[in-house]
Amino acid sequence: MALYQEVKGNLSFLLIVDSSLNHTFPVVKEGIIPALHHFGIPYQVMDLARSPLLKRFSSFPGIIIGQEHLGKSFTPEITRFFIEKIKQGTGLVSFDAFLGEYPPEWLDFIGIFPGRVVLTSLIKLKNANHYITSTHPKEEIKKLKKPLELTLVNIRKERMGVLFIDGEKNPALLVGFLEKGRFVQFVLSAKLWILDYFGHTEGLDDVFWKSIIWIAKKPVVMKAMPPFVTARIDDASGTANIFGKKRNSANKKFRYLDTLNRYGYIPNVGLFIDDIISEDISTMRIKYEEGKAEFSPHAFTDPQNIGEKLIYMKHSGEEFSEKELEDNFRRVDKKFFSWGMKPSRVVNAHFAEIGINSLPFLKERGQIYTMNIIRFGRAYADPKGRDWNPKPYGYCGFIFDYMPEDNSFFNVISHPFISLKDDSTAPRFDFLWGCTPFWKESPYNEVEKAAKRGAEQIKRGLDNLFFGCLMTHEQRIATLSIEEWERILSLINETITSYKPIFVGYDYIAQYAKSKIESRLTKAHYIPEARKIECYLEGKTNILTKLYIFIERKGEIEYTLGDIPPFQKSIDVSFKL
């Protein structure tokens, strides 16, 4: 696949690179371009290594300096070209922290004067009242995996602000106005977006894309995931769950599903199918028929959590034989048929263990979506199970990509992963971990802590422009009373309301994500006199998709979601403002 996915039209940002700078171009390929593609931000490339014809680039909403050490590539002609565009209202985002290499004319214009370069191991939020940082907690601290270069700067412009600082209170991210244009300047190295240093999906992705939206001359479009929210419950046994034996335990008759539904969630429930007792079947069937829950065969049972009775492969990593799989799937089919239900199209496998030999059986049943953090045919404990580079960022917690063993399967997951030793309220794979007496993780049910973690888990997925997914295991829900579960969801709901969440099922999200990946914007053009946006897309979709349309009224940035009908090969769409 080509490195660039350029978009024609005057709503396409101008991405500035220099492909001749071999020592910094890899950061563009690994940290900048994958993000632009994932966020669906339209762009066209100006490669300074190729003596670009400036008159070819006439109108664009913003300039993105996407590579470090570009200052020496700024000729007087290019410098004046960019300055004039910004004066006229074009925005600027620069990911190049090495300002000392830029021409004096450029530095004088932006009003930032660089000093020496230092190293920093953290950045701290200074201003949470800006559009770019509005969803972040005050005085948030982000620790880096490795120290990064930061350029010390003097600021000599009015109407300029600092959003992030380092541990010594030096500016790390600057924002401001340049005549009619806006600008965002990162003075922290662009290696921030590389996994070895910090990486995408770690809590700053919204700063990346919101910086671009904020500086842009509106209107501007973005082909990103809408703010979908769902829930995922693993290890579900319902009433039979041995950890919830109290009269008001939330697992009784799957009562926790009623609460989830009241707050809008359509959960995907991974069932221990042999644990389900007869009195729970009617509850499950009603939820299924009303579209209020999806059910996936998780495993047959596993009371000791040792993977002893799995469906798709053995916990040791050994494959089931074809005969064993025929028996396993016959048992699953019989069970779901007796319940009057069909399994979800997204496979929620215990320990994410799905054998290669099971794939034909899943395809036969139309179960072609997965939520896997490991590769097919690998045990959860096998380090090689995580030996892959899934799109968009090579990180197993946030994936929209085809499975490498069989690209008939599309993998969709949106979960933060942090060490279980971290006792903070940071988001993690299971939001209830450490908040209940399950496995003696806590002496009591910590409702407030659980709610904060759950909200942060959803917010991380939404800020990353994946999807919000409230994920936990039923054993932990079972230790809660139904009142405690209600309180947790109520507090989470209060926190995420500002995101305008759209509650849908995991099956829907998987289909949508696949359609997003298999289609792309190739033209985005605004006709001011008609107040109309015209777009052209190529690829294919099998579901109605959406396009973000950002406008600005009295300094407030707003968006609507425009409809893109399902299509094959290509489609023209237009939107009236």
Cα gap 373→355, rounded to integer Å: 14
Q: Which residue has the tokens 């993998």?
A: 411
Q: Mean pLDDT in the chain?
A: 95
Judged against a pLDDT cut of 50, whether residue 497 lies above it is answered with yes
Confidence of residue 421 (pLDDT cuts 50, 70, 90): very low
The alpha carbon of residue 20 and the mean position of all alpha carbons in its chain are separated, in whole angstroms, by 31
The alpha carbon of residue 94 and the mean position of all alpha carbons in its chain are separated, in whole angstroms, by 22
In the prediction, which pLDDT does 54 show? 80
Return the structure tokens found at 127: 């201003």
Please provide the DSSP assignment of 86-124 as one string.
HHTT-EEEE----GGGS-HHHHHHHTEEEEEEEEEEEEE
Cα gap 568→541, rounded to integer Å: 7
When pLDDT is averaged across residues 433-449 and rounded to a whole number, the result is 95
Residues 483, 495 contacting (CB under 8 angstroms): no
Cα gap 503→229, rounded to integer Å: 5
When pLDDT is averaged across residues 327-354 and rounded to a whole number, the result is 98
Residue 70 main-chain phi, psi, to 5 deg: -85, -10
Nearest to 268 by CA among 230, 240, 238, 239: 230
Judged against a pLDDT cut of 70, whether residue 427 lies above it is answered with no
Judged against a pLDDT cut of 90, whether residue 158 lies above it is answered with no
Cα gap 435→450, rounded to integer Å: 6
Q: pLDDT tens, 236-270?
A: 999 999 999 888 999 999 999 999 999 999 999 99
Cα gap 28→88, rounded to integer Å: 27
The alpha carbon of residue 77 and the mean position of all alpha carbons in its chain are separated, in whole angstroms, by 39
Close Cβ partners of 162 (under 8 Å, ≥ 6 residues apart): 126, 127, 171, 172, 173, 174, 175
In the prediction, which pLDDT does 418 show? 56
Residue 453 pairs in a beta bridge with none
Q: Which residue has the tokens 């904020």?
A: 214
Judged against a pLDDT cut of 50, whether residue 483 lies above it is answered with yes
Q: Is the peptide bond before 42 cis (omega within 30 degrees of 0)?
A: no
Q: Which residue has the tokens 């989470």?
A: 492
Judged against a pLDDT cut of 50, whether residue 325 lies above it is answered with yes
3-class DSSP state for residue 539? strand
3-class DSSP state for residue 478? helix
Judged against a pLDDT cut of 90, whether residue 411 lies above it is answered with yes
In the prediction, which pLDDT does 296 show? 98
Model's pTM, two decimal places? 0.96
Confidence of residue 440 (pLDDT cuts 50, 70, 90): very high
